[in-house]
């Protein structure tokens, strides 16, 4: 069967004027599209369909051409599209109220930033880095300037942070060499001196937590802090180079600006209270605070000055619970779960420093669902062994009728 049409008076060939009709779900039609796709060096859907219509007219050919292109293994590897599961729930540490800022913090580095060794001519430029501490509950930021990325400088920055903001209970970070090295140094110190330390001091250590490798979205809170710090720093510095002291002073001023940002959207009603900011939670903060009674509902004239300050602090936490936490309810991206990973799925492991055709081919041997039952991390067997990666590094390959 051939197509009729109105091209009989044209000078095209007979096959062009009356192409052969093909059924789109027939095996011959699929093999024809597969053959032409490879012959045209993996052409796209438009070129593939136009070339086939010179001789054949497949019914529903546009959809078949798109399916052939999307199911081609080699074309799929070149695109490197990862699966996007549903956005996960907030961790418990971000929803704890009633405490003090920086009880649970996330740490990251920003930079390098070029700093001058001295003022005047003949100065030398050196690289320095910014260590960023972000509070999980209040989003308060603390900035420290460090000279390099060694573990010793990170420990010194951590000691300065503790001296000013108090000792945190949990520290979250990525798998950077500085963070892991500092964790190993503290672990060796505690293990080697556990006998000389008192029992209360031994149980009062800091808990270090590391997110999986190559998963910066797991630390979106401190990555946003890095972005905000760079936003102000680049506009202040421009092309000039400050000395170490001048740069440290600038970072302190940027820290004050970032801690004055509203946590909730501003209201147009002039009768509303001032917006809640991370700086509100620094009121009444001491390094060794003891649990206090609830003064929120007591009459203000009956309270002394210390109890009044504690009442203000508890009022801020009440506003935090009512105004800020409700803003965290919405999922801003990854609102639906598509292409969930399953065992024995054929995948490609995405690498930043390699072209797509050199990414490792592997097969999923184990999956690790989260508390909500959605899989975001999987173990993959490759030619070099079994590796663990998150979904942002895993590109599932399609189940296709062709061999790629």
Domain containing 400 — which CATH number? 2.30.30
Single out the residue in 258, 283, 318 at which a domain terminates.
258
- Do residues 58 and 110 both lie within one domain? no
Q: How many other C-beta atoms lie within 10 A of the C-beta of residue 50? A: 12
Number of domains comprising the chain: 4
- Do residues 30 and 126 both lie within one domain? no
Q: How far apart are CA 343 and CA 351, in angstroms?
A: 21
At 5-54, the pLDDT tens digits run 666 666 667 667 777 788 888 888 889 888 888 888 888 888 888 888 88
Instruction: Please list, residue by residue across 331-358, b when 16 or more beta carbons sit within 10 angstroms of its beta carbon and e when fewer do.
Output: eeebeeeebbbeeebebbbbeeeeeeee
Q: What is the pTM of this model?
A: 0.62
- Do residues 352 and 394 both lie within one domain? yes
- Do residues 113 and 251 both lie within one domain? yes
- The one-character DSSP state at 206 is P
- Do residues 225 and 316 both lie within one domain? no
Single out the residue in 273, 304, 330 at which a domain terminates.
330
- The pLDDT value given to residue 19: 75
CA distances from 28 to 22, 23, 47, 107 (A): 9, 9, 19, 58
- Do residues 209 and 239 both lie within one domain? yes
Is residue 283 domain-resident? no
Conformational region of residue 60, where left means phi above 0, alpha means psi within -120 to 50, and beta covers everything else: left
At 317-336, the pLDDT tens digits run 566 566 566 666 666 676 66
Is residue 324 domain-resident? yes
Lowest model confidence (mean pLDDT) among 59-63, 312-316, 339-343: 312-316
- Do residues 173 and 222 both lie within one domain? yes
- Do residues 125 and 252 both lie within one domain? yes
Is residue 229 domain-resident? yes
- Do residues 129 and 113 both lie within one domain? yes
Which residue would you say has higher pLDDT here, 308 or 206? 206
At 133, the pLDDT band (50, 70, 90 cuts) reads very high
- Element spanning 347, H or E: strand 346-349
- The pLDDT value given to residue 291: 44
Is residue 263 domain-resident? no
Going 325 to 331 to 333 to 339, the CA torsion angle's sign is positive
Average pLDDT, the chain: 75
Q: Which domain holds residue 351?
A: 332-404
Is residue 305 domain-resident? yes
Q: How many other C-beta atoms lie within 10 A of the C-beta of residue 80? A: 14
At 277-318, the pLDDT tens digits run 777 777 433 222 344 445 445 555 555 555 555 555 566 556
Is residue 284 domain-resident? no
- Do residues 338 and 319 both lie within one domain? no
Helix (H/G/I), strand (E/B), else coil: 402: coil
Q: How far apart are CA 183 and CA 205, in angstroms?
A: 11
- Do residues 336 and 322 both lie within one domain? no
- Do residues 249 and 179 both lie within one domain? yes
Token representation of residue 75: 């074309």
**HSE-up of residue 28 (Cα within 13 Å, Cβ side):** 6
């Amino acid at each position: 069967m051939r197509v009729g049409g109105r091209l009989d008076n044209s000078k095209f060939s007979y096959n062009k004027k009356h192409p052969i009709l093909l059924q789109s779900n027939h095996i011959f039609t699929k093999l024809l599209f597969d053959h032409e796709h490879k012959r045209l060096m993996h052409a796209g859907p438009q070129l593939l369909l136009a070339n086939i219509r010179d001789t054949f007219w497949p019914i529903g050919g546009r959809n078949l051409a798109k399916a052939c292109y999307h199911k081609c293994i080699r074309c799929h590897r070149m695109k490197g599209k990862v699966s996007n599961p549903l956005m996960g729930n907030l961790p418990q540490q971000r929803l704890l109220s009633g405490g003090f800022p920086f009880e649970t913090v996330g740490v990251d580095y920003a930079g390098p930033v070029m700093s001058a060794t001295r003022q005047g001519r003949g100065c030398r430029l050196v690289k320095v880095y910014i260590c960023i501490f972000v509070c999980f509950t209040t989003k308060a930021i603390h900035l420290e300037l460090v000279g390099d990325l060694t573990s010793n400088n990170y420990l010194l920055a951590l000691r300065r942070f503790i001296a000013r903001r108090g000792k945190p209970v949990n520290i979250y970070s990525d798998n950077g060499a500085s963070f892991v090295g500092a964790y190993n140094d503290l672990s060796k110190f505690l293990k080697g001196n556990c006998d000389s330390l008192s029992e209360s001091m031994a149980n009062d250590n800091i808990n270090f937590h590391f997110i999986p490798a190559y998963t910066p979205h797991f630390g979106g809170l401190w990555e946003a802090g890095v972005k905000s710090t760079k936003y102000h720093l680049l506009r202040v510095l421009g092309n000039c180079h400050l000395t170490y002291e001048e740069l440290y002073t600038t970072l302190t001023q940027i820290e004050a600006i970032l801690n004055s940002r509203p946590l909730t959207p501003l209201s147009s009603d002039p009768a509303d209270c001032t917006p809640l900011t991370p700086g509100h939670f620094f009121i009444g903060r001491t390094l060794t605070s003891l649990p206090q009674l609830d003064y929120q509902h007591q009459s203000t004239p009956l309270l002394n000055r210390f109890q009044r300050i504690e009442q203000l602090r508890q009022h801020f936490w009440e506003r935090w619970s009512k105004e800020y936490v409700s803003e965290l309810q919405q999922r801003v991206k990854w609102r639906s779960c598509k292409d969930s990973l399953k065992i024995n799925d054929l995948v490609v492991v995405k690498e930043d420093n390699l072209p797509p055709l050199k990414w490792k081919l592997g097969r999923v041997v184990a999956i690790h669902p989260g508390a909500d039952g959605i899989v975001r991390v999987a173990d993959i067997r490759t030619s070099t062994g079994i590796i663990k990666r998150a979904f942002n590094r895993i590109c599932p390959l399609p189940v296709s009728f062709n061999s790629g």
